[in-house]
Amino acid sequence: MVRKIWNASRVMLLSPVALVLTILILPVLILTDNVPILQQLLEYIHQNDNL
């Protein structure tokens, strides 16, 4: 039960942060057309998704 509450609160706290970072970083990556950095970012997100 405590683990579910912790996971839910963590998601609620990190969602706005992720949204702001997406709004700030994604257009820069698209405009600079730096595909390897974008691929590394997606791999990093997927790697840490299972924590």
**CA 41 to chain CA centroid, nearest Å:** 9
Q: Is the dihedral of CA 13, 15, 17, 20 positive or negative?
A: negative
Give the tens place of pLDDT for each residue, 10-36: 888 878 888 888 888 878 777 777 678
Looking at the predicted structure, is the pLDDT value of residue 44 above 70? yes
Q: Which of 2-11, 26-35, 38-47 has the lowest mean pLDDT?
A: 26-35
pLDDT value of residue 33: 72
pLDDT band at 51 (very low <50, low <70, confident <90, very high): low
Q: How many domains does the chain have?
A: 1
Q: Note down the domain range covering 29.
A: 2-50
